[in-house]
Structure 1
Amino acid sequence: MNIVIWSAFIILILVLLYVWYRHRVVKRNPPQTALASFSTSQSSVFPSLQSQLRELVKIAWTTEQSFRHPQFLLNLGDFAHTTAPDQVVEVLIRHAKRVTPGFQVPYMVPRVLVTSIPFAAGMFEEDEEGWVTIKVSSDLFQDKLAAQAILAHEVCHYILSNSGIRKSSFEINERYTDLCMFVCGFGEIFLAGYKRQPAQNDYRPGHHLGYLTDAEYQFAHQYVMQLRQSKELAPPSELDIVKKRLRQLLYSDESACERNIEAERRRSPHKSEMELYRDAIARLERDRGR
């Protein structure tokens, strides 16, 4: 009996020593997170986010106008002269209209209220007559970066609702709304204020806004910037569109396209290539009675 007790005692001591050793090793050498080693080439880490972002981009960046604007990302300096929440919303809406022409971005700045919101940082409300109110928690409003992050999210609710983009559940809608911020160029604004540690914030003991993880937010921001810079999903230019139309009219006969453009160039040598293609299309459609 004594041998059994002593054997159990020794095993217990060994287990406790092993647990202590592992705790010490992990504490001194913490595991690397997905965020630390993330790169946009590892898009398979978040396949659903990748497909959702591409879905929104294909709707939002539908014309050349989206890529003509030299500034895709809003930055903190763009809010230097804003003193009221409705002014922040106005800056966000104006920017979204420039870079996401495919969305039905509203013209009207909604009513914005700073008020007590139990268990929420912000809220988007639309009544039966279509009037919209955006609310910001008074607990967070004193933190300017947090307030801007909240308003960026709520404005995207406004944009998606006006564009008729609604998903099947509350959680999916919220995740799409978070992703919409990055597609609209609000990424840096949101990332600057969505997460605050207690030491960074004199107003309340820290916060983490939104519906995605830190790593998912970093992925969304970097993946959208990769798409933007590569122009992989860039829409065709106006010239590409008229060239395609002429090819359609001539049944994809490239030599016939060249002959028609040369004929137009002889008639109007000073016109631009765009004008020549438009004239050729108009002439063919007229000749065919369209």
Structure 2
Amino acid sequence: MSDKAPKPLNLLDYHRPKRLRLKDARIPPLNAESKRCLRNLTAYRPSRPKFPYPQTRSAAVLVALFVGRMGDLYVLLNRRSATLRTYAGDTSLPGGKWDPEDRTIEDTARREAFEEIGLPRDKLKVPLLCILEPFLAARNLIVTPVIVLILDNTLRFPFSLTHSPLFSPPLPRFPTEPELIEVPYHTTNEWTYPGPNDTTLTTRAHRFLTGREAGGIKPVFGLTAAILIHAASIAHARQPDFEVELAPPEGQSREERIAWAIYSSPVFHEAYEAEEIKVDWAKVAKTAGGKGGGRSTRR
């Protein structure tokens, strides 16, 4: 095994196959809204990060879409095993941490989905639609969503390696579902954390029902809900009717939250040093909304 430090992660340096052509692809019949969603997703390009992220603190999730019988788009989700030490039984997207064998963050998402739910890595059967901006997850991980479309309708998924069943709620729609009157389809909760310049900031988490709670399936919430909201906003080309993020000065954007975690958390500084990545800490602090300066890495 090589002792050479991994190169900085450039989230835009992906191997991209030929773009999916909707008129040529063998896709089940789509309704008009699903066609618009796929066109919007294939045309999407993420914003360029202002500084590199350490690979050892990077992860990816696969947002695998498929077409239902009525031409609607659905997303493939997984229920984590009840025996896991973290997030046991949660409804989640397949994914995990970067591995040295992964050439790109897309490879990370595809490898994890293959290992967790058996989704083929074949880019003809499961072509890339787009890659979204990263999110900050718990335990100081930077998670990048990779959106793909399952074209092969003959695929049958076994239980994942954690012996957890799969299910497929629709891509989130806006506004909330009208038929769920007694139990709200969408709810939120908030908590505070210390921010730059001795401020106290608030972050918001979203929670959506799947319609299968009676069968023991947990609602979609937290990071998974945030990723699906962002994916649906791009697909439908409009923001939801509810406020997704708290605007400054009460809250931070996704990019600001990542920058603040990088600037303030020792685990990121250790990762940058271990990977021998030079960082402009003043730029990181400015992105986070702070005053800047005061940090360095050793070469």
TM-score range, shorter chain: under 0.3
The structure in which a higher percent of residues are helix is 1
Higher CA-based Rg = 1
TM-score by length of 2: 0.24
TM-score by length of 1: 0.25
